[in-house]
């Protein structure tokens, strides 16, 4: 009984704290690691891939500071004390749920696998987009990219470096183009290669400075390359909603600049986002008009940052597509998971 009560208490505390980590920043993906137990302290999100402290790949999370983790359905994560191949030293693996780590404050290596399958820590691409790896045969650094265009020169490659892509995994419903140069208009030039669903070693290994991801099928544009695309190194889905090919929804909270899910869009994960900290991504201050919220999430919008707590007027929404009551006023956005 005590164990059940403890687990229930931890789940309630972590759910309430997912959005109020002390120094919430843009994250890289859906698996969120915290520096303190019970989902407290600074947080960093991780997408599908391998992350090593000795390469400076832990983002806001400091080396030897992981204490708890939130893992969404379809994902698994491995923590290890050392960075050796597939991790070394004391290791632990976690599946979906909210967990305090057994080996607190020791992780120098983190590996995340996604919804495409679990295969003994093999490199399984998947999740919300195309997974790009720095080495051939799906090894090395990895970064997941949603729908959009990504330019190395604009710092939009996330965990990947310029001229460093060696292999890719393209899930069903996506296609990708990689080009040697960004092009004068930011639409790719030079030697390019296109790939649909499947796993590939790149023909032009270690050349890509431009990556474009599109959806295919019923929702996707599937037209020519070089349309409106994402920014922030794979952290958002770009501006492909509303008038630009149809919004597909998915498992992320998406805020739109205009009503009826139109205009510029920005994806937000668990956390608190403040305009005065420049955490709104492509969305401007006082520019939120509508929101898409997937099942299991809630969002609060406030006109003022309120020192990180938000201040009125405020409004809260659960799952669904909503036009905001206080249109074009939000300077504070909080996203959390809950029933």
Per-residue confidence in pLDDT tens, the chain, 339 aa: 545 545 444 444 444 443 333 333 334 567 889 899 888 888 888 877 788 899 888 888 889 999 998 887 667 888 999 987 778 889 998 887 788 999 999 999 998 876 533 323 323 333 457 888 888 877 888 888 877 788 888 778 877 889 999 988 888 778 899 999 987 766 788 889 988 888 888 989 999 999 988 877 533 444 556 643 333 223 233 333 332 223 333 456 888 888 877 778 788 877 888 888 888 887 889 889 988 887 788 999 999 998 888 898 999 998 877 889 999 999 999 988 876
In a domain, 290, yes or no: yes
Q: Is the dihedral of CA 328, 148, 130, 165 positive or negative?
A: negative
- Of 70, 90, 113, which one is at a domain's C-terminal end? 113
The CATH number of the domain where 109 resides is what?
Answer: 2.60.20.10
In a domain, 215, yes or no: no
Q: Is 150 exposed, middle or buried, given 0-12, 13-18 or 19+ CB atoms closer than 10 A? A: buried
In a domain, 294, yes or no: yes
In a domain, 278, yes or no: yes
In a domain, 229, yes or no: no
In a domain, 172, yes or no: no
Q: What pLDDT digit, counting tens, does each position of 199-228 carry?
A: 888 989 999 999 988 877 533 444 556 643
The total of structural domains in the chain comes to 2
- Of 80, 113, 146, which one is at a domain's C-terminal end? 113
Q: What is the CA radius of gyration of the chain?
A: 19
- Of 56, 91, 113, which one is at a domain's C-terminal end? 113
User: What 3 state SS string does the chain have?
Assistant: CHHHHHHHHHHHHHHHHCCCCCCCCCCCCCEEEEEEHHHEEEEEEECCEEEEHHHCCCCCCCCCCCCEEEECCCCEEEEEEECCCCCEEEEEEECCEEEECCCCCCCCEEEEECCCCCCCCCCCCCCCCEEEEEECCCEEEEEEECCEEEEHHHCCCCCCCCCCCCEEEECCCEEEEEEEECCCCCCCEEEEEEECCEEEECCCCCCCCEEEEEECCCCCCCCCCCCCCCCHHHCCCCCCCCCCCCCCCCCCEEEEEECCCEEEEEEECCEEEEHHHCCCCCCCCCCCCEEEECCCEEEEEEEECHHHCCEEEEEEECCEEEECCCCCCCCEEEEEECC
Distance CA 295, CA 318 (A): 8
In a domain, 152, yes or no: no
281: its two tokens: 């991504």
Domain housing 84: 2-113
In a domain, 236, yes or no: no
């Amino acid at each position: 009984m005590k164990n059940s009560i403890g687990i229930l208490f931890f789940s309630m505390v972590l759910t309430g704290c997912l959005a109020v980590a002390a120094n919430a920043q843009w994250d890289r993906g859906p698996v969120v690691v915290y520096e303190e137990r019970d989902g407290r302290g600074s947080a960093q999100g991780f997408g599908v891939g391998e992350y090593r402290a000795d390469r400076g790949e832990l983002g806001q999370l400091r080396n030897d500071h992981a204490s708890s983790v939130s893992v969404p359905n379809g994902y698994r994560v491995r923590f290890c004390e050392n960075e050796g191949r597939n991790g070394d030293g004391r290791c632990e693996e976690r599946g979906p749920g909210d967990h305090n780590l057994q080996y607190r404050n020791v992780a120098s290596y983190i590996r995340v696998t996604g919804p495409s399958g679990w295969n003994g820590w093999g490199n399984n691409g998947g999740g919300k987009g195309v997974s790009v790896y720095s080495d051939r045969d799906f090894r090395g650094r990895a970064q997941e990219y949603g729908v959009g265009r990504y330019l190395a020169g604009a710092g939009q490659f996330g965990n990947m470096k310029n001229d460093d892509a060696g292999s890719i995994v393209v899930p069903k419903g996506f296609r990708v183009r990689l080009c040697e140069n960004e092009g004068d208009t930011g639409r790719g030039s030079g030697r390019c290669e296109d790939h649909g669903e499947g796993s590939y070693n790149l023909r032009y290994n270690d050349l890509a400075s431009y990556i474009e991801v599109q959806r295919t099928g019923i929702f996707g544009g599937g037209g020519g390359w070089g349309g409106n695309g994402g920014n922030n190194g794979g952290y958002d889905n770009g501006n492909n909603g509303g008038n630009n090919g149809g919004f597909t929804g998915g498992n992320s909270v998406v805020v739109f600049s205009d009503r009826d899910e139109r205009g510029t869009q920005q994806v937000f994960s668990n956390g608190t986002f403040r305009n005065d900290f420049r955490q709104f991504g492509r969305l401007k201050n006082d520019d939120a008009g509508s929101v898409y919220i997937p099942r299991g999430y809630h969002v609060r919008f406030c006109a003022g940052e309120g020192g990180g707590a938000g201040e009125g007027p405020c409004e809260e929404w659960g799952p669904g597509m909503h036009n905001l009551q206080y249109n074009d006023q939000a300077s504070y956005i909080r996203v959390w998971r809950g029933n």
